[in-house]
Structure 1
Amino acid sequence: MRVQAHVRAAGLIVALLLMSCTSSAQPASPSTQSSGSNPPAAPKRISIAILGELPAFWDDINPAGGTVPGIGQFEGLASSGLTVADQQEARYPQLAEAVPSTENGLWQVFPDGRMETTWRIREGARWHDGQPFTSEDLAFTATVGQDDEMTVFRNGACDLVESVETPDARTVTVAWKRPYIRADTMFSVGSAGFAPPLPKHILEEPFTQNKATFTELAFWTTEFVGSGAFKLREWAAGSHVLLDAFPDYVLGRPKIDQIEVRFIPDPSTLLANVLAGIIDLTFSRSVSIEQAVPVRDQWLDGKMIAHIDGWTMMYPQLRSPTPSSLGDPQFRRALISTIDRQQLADTLTAGLAPIADSIIAPVQPEYRSVEPSIVRYSYDPNRAAQLLEGMGLTKGADGTYHDAANQRISVEIRTTTNDANQKATLAVADYLQRAGIGAEPVVIPVARLQDREYRSTYPGLELVNQPHGVDGFEDLLHSSAAPLPERNYRAPKSSRNRGAYMNPEYDALMERYKTTIPLQERMQVLGQLLHQQTDLQLVMGVFYTADAIMMANRLTDAPPATTWNAHEWDVTS
């Protein structure tokens, strides 16, 4: 403190001396006056709000095995992959010079069914610590992704990889055992990619020495070194993350100098910060449309953007359900028939989104091919009653259904603190109760969001919001994603099989879908999977989610709910 005081005092004396000298000197020329009167530009800073606390820089490191709202967008600020998908899911080169395709010769499919994909890394690509980003990093990433002990990094697609060759520091070629429809997304960040790049020079030694503690390294939080447009300055657990522009980013230095990402677990507090001018942008699933509309009408310095960001759906517990009747497809069909999903969609999305009969939405290009395969259940309480009674369930004197042992049928419905999810859960519980099915809505406490066992052993239904379309479809309900006790309740993509569905025939069909390159044949397999999902109500769609993104007017070139082009974002003041 004394040293700082002496420095400030010395600076003041020097400034006064300079002022004295200037006053006694001859007037400066107009050109000198002009250049001396331009102060340095103020740093460009923005603040982003995320609902809840981030467990790490990557979603895969979440100890709960679930997904924190907006973490996928956060990943894209500090991490870059070889390619990236924009807001329309079009793929662009990022750290690579080009996206592999059959047209440019970087994606080759051989007569025997094997494939090769090749990427050329951009010259000058670097990690945040200044080390070159090389093909050796990608070979190391593939090694981690194929290691059976590294469950959180495991991806079924890695099992299709035959070899990874690195002919030079900037070239990597992956040989595939068989076709895979998303081979071009390897070494990419976010839900639309897999095997995001890892820095070999930092992580190879701890990976080799102790795999069991690999995900506990400070690297994933306070010592993170990425390859994205922004680099870590400060990780304050329970509070915020501070990111600085990475001056050596291969696509150019970001226009924004600093980004603060604040952890705000309460939506009302988050919106109060928006109105106060503290927050410039919210990530997806932070606030509901219903919450955001009143703020939109008051916030003169910003706007609300409605963005279809996924589907609100329920995972039934299928490993050890309570009540046991939940394991019967007839019971699940009855449940979905008791819910007026259209009314829910109209109320909670302001009529901006339709009901969700499947993960593939009507506006998506695949829908026309698979529409006949989707089994729909309309709001029909009478039909629901017939299904329940057909199972031998009878209504007791209390007006609720009982099983053959006269045990009251009641279903727990869990959800997160997200406002729309809570309201949807309460509404679903009300519909079930009206139909004579006991229902207990439970909001998962913030303190238990990272509790893997608690999150994986819910007894009834878990209502969540998840990615929709083909990006959210891959490995949906695959056995490899089931968070089982013997896996310590962790598995790659465990958020896509929360209820632990296990079916070898279904798995085989999903693997066939992932390896069928001809589009028409692939759509046929997609239709078969959707038929199973919807007919058996293995995942129970409620409505497509219209997400409210709050964005300050001063923030430009930032599409909602994505950070794929964060280096191009700018502010006008």
Structure 2
Amino acid sequence: MIKIQRGLRTAFVAMALAGVAFAPVSALAAGKLTVSSPQDPGSWDPIDTFLVNWASVATNIFDGLTYRGPDLKLVPGLATSWEVLDNGMRIRFKLREGVKFHNGEAFDAEAVKFTFDRLLGAEGAKGPQQSNYNSIGSVDVIDATTIDMKLKVADPVILTKLAGYGAMIVPPKYIAEKGDAYFNAHPVGTGAFKFVSYEPKVNIVLSANPDYFGGAPKISDLEYKFISEPATAVAELQAGRVDLVIPPTIPIGMIPTIQGNAKLAVVTSPGPTVYALRFNTRDGITKDPKVRQALIMGVDRDAIIKSILGGQAQPIASFQGPLSFGFDKAMKPLPYDPVKAQALLKEAGVAPGASLQIDLRGNEATFIEVAQAISAYLQTIGITATIKPYETNVLLNDIIPGGKTGAMFQQSWGGWTLDYDNTAVAMYHTGEKWNPYDSDPKMDDLLAKQRTITNVAEREKVLQEIAHYAADRALEMPLYNLNAIFGINKRVKNFTPVPDSRLKFTDVTVD
């Protein structure tokens, strides 16, 4: 038996440093923070989405059993402690007492069981989160403040997964009374801010929860405006109508504009978000791995990082950045070699002038510039690339999972667990939402194998093997690991640009 309480005194100190206190504050400070977010996720239900822009809002509405703060350390959340039992196949959680959901409903073991039964059941199967938690066999209630989570298979990342997204604890009675559709647009959690109103594609408004177990927020109101057009978001920041613009909104070219305003600042942080153009491996010329390799070698990604991204990114060889467990710093990307690229295209029987389509999110100005540069590079090796922008939710919820993309399509991914498992399973396992084209038994076996390994070093080797295998098959054109770039009004104080963009605003103040 391994008992894990994370040294509760140390954990409580860590939580305090991360903005999580333990005694409710009786009075709320005045002040409103207005945030520009580039995307409305379309549903606030934790099981319905994978989007970072969901998490940047919902981290303030919901809590998980564990919590990962700005320092990326895992500490207690709605669970005060946990024990890992039965060789890692059972975890016993002690739950926080006296916590209530925003509707007044009590948080207890039954709420935890309901949350995971729902996530792993028919309702969860409709969304993209279930596969992240399918290692869980059951959640059993021991008493009102104790639950056992039993695993079907080993999952070395499960405690981190419980800190976000699909594992956020939801209120059973509220959902039973109101229904799933209502909950999508009227979220209720235990978090630091309560839901007030939501107008799709316009805004979501929250108010401070004075009874939050981590201490009442220091601002009274929090509003997120959904502004997809970067120039509009920056203009709103300049005009003082928004206080903070969050990634991935701000184009590199607009950083000097923000920095030139004495009232504003640009704050950056190394982040987990990586960008790639993934390939349709089922249809057309990109069905051939030689063609995919040629397209990768035909693009000078270092030049793109320098000229378009202003050095705010680092090149990558696999679909992960240095913060990811499984990152192999010795792994090198395919080199820029247009002569070799043309030779590979000729070997594959691709005639000069062949065409392909690149699908991307239409609201990301910087990536559109990147795609235009890629198109120009491909032109020099005899490929005519056309760019097709989509409204983000259409691309992510219809075009990609429906297998309706062109030969190449944009994928940006945060890998929020900071473990390559979270990325690789979603991108490469047969049948996953983000893998509409490829099925590879060897890849599936490797992905399953790494989840059964408890030895950290051995598991890391298998993750690196997966990265090398994906690169050998040229499943995507790895582009870069981009810094998280925030534009902020200097009247905002105590803001921490967290690497995973899961922003918790309990300690922020606005002058």
TM category (shorter chain) comes to 0.7 to 0.9
Q: Distance in 1 between matches of 2:152 and 2:391?
A: 44
Q: Distance in 2 between matches of 1:504 and 1:364?
A: 24
Name the counterpart of 1:140: 114
Q: Distance in 2 between matches of 1:475 and 1:538?
A: 17
What's the offset of the Cα at 1:526? Answer: 0.6
Counterpart check, 1:560 vs 2:497: yes
Q: Secondary structure at the match of 1:250?
A: coil
Counterpart check, 1:547 vs 2:484: yes
What's the offset of the Cα at 1:249? Answer: 1.1
Counterpart check, 1:86 vs 2:69: yes
The residue type paired with residue 338 of structure 1 is: G
Structure 2, unmatched stretches of 5+, are: 1-26
Classify 1:454/1:560 alpha carbon distance in 2 versus 1 (closer, same or farther; 3 Å).
Answer: same
Q: Secondary structure at the match of 1:394?
A: coil
Residues 558 and 565 in structure 1, CA contact (< 8 A), matched pair in contact too: no
Structure 1, unmatched stretches of 5+, are: 1-39, 101-105, 208-213, 401-408, 485-490
Q: Secondary structure at the match of 2:467?
A: helix
Select which of 396, 401, 410 maps to 1:463: 410
Classify 1:356/1:234 alpha carbon distance in 2 versus 1 (closer, same or farther; 3 Å).
Answer: same
Name the counterpart of 2:183: 219
Select which of 53, 56, 71 maps to 1:70: 53
Q: Secondary structure at the match of 1:220?
A: helix
Within-5 A mapping of 1:81-480: 81-98=64-81, 100=82, 106-110=83-87, 115-147=89-121, 150-151=124-125, 152=127, 155-156=130-131, 158-190=133-165, 194-204=166-176, 214=180, 217-221=181-185, 223-298=186-261, 300-309=262-271, 310-319=273-282, 321=283, 324-362=284-322, 366-367=326-327, 370-372=328-330, 374=331, 376-395=333-352, 400=353, 409-416=354-361, 417-445=363-391, 448-449=394-395, 452-453=398-399, 456=402, 457-468=404-415, 471=418, 473-476=420-423, 478=425
Q: Distance in 1 between matches of 2:416 and 2:31?
A: 36
Deviations 1:117-169, CA, capped at 9 Å, x for gaps: 12222122111101111111111122122225632165335433233221111
Q: Secondary structure at the match of 1:558?
A: coil
What's the offset of the Cα at 1:302? Answer: 2.5
The residue type paired with residue 508 of structure 1 is: D
The residue type paired with residue 507 of structure 1 is: D
Residues 56 and 502 in structure 2, CA contact (< 8 A), matched pair in contact too: yes
What's the offset of the Cα at 1:471? Answer: 2.9
Name the counterpart of 2:48: 61
Classify 1:259/1:41 alpha carbon distance in 2 versus 1 (closer, same or farther; 3 Å).
Answer: closer
Q: Distance in 2 between matches of 1:228 and 1:506?
A: 39
What's the offset of the Cα at 1:513? Answer: 1.4
Residues 482 and 499 in structure 1, CA contact (< 8 A), matched pair in contact too: no
The residue type paired with residue 218 of structure 1 is: Y
The residue type paired with residue 411 of structure 1 is: L
Name the counterpart of 1:10: none
**Following TM superposition, where does structure 1 have runs of at least 4 consecutive aligned residues deviating by more than 6 angstroms?**
479-484
Q: Distance in 2 between matches of 1:535 and 1:507?
A: 15
Name the counterpart of 2:24: none
The residue type paired with residue 127 of structure 1 is: F
Q: Distance in 2 between matches of 1:59 and 1:358?
A: 28
Q: Distance in 2 between matches of 1:262 and 1:312?
A: 25
Q: TM-score, length-normalised on structure 1? A: 0.77
Q: Secondary structure at the match of 1:415?
A: strand
Structure number with bigger Rg: 1
Name the counterpart of 1:25: none
Residues 375 and 535 in structure 1, CA contact (< 8 A), matched pair in contact too: no
Name the counterpart of 2:17: none
What's the offset of the Cα at 1:313? Answer: 0.7
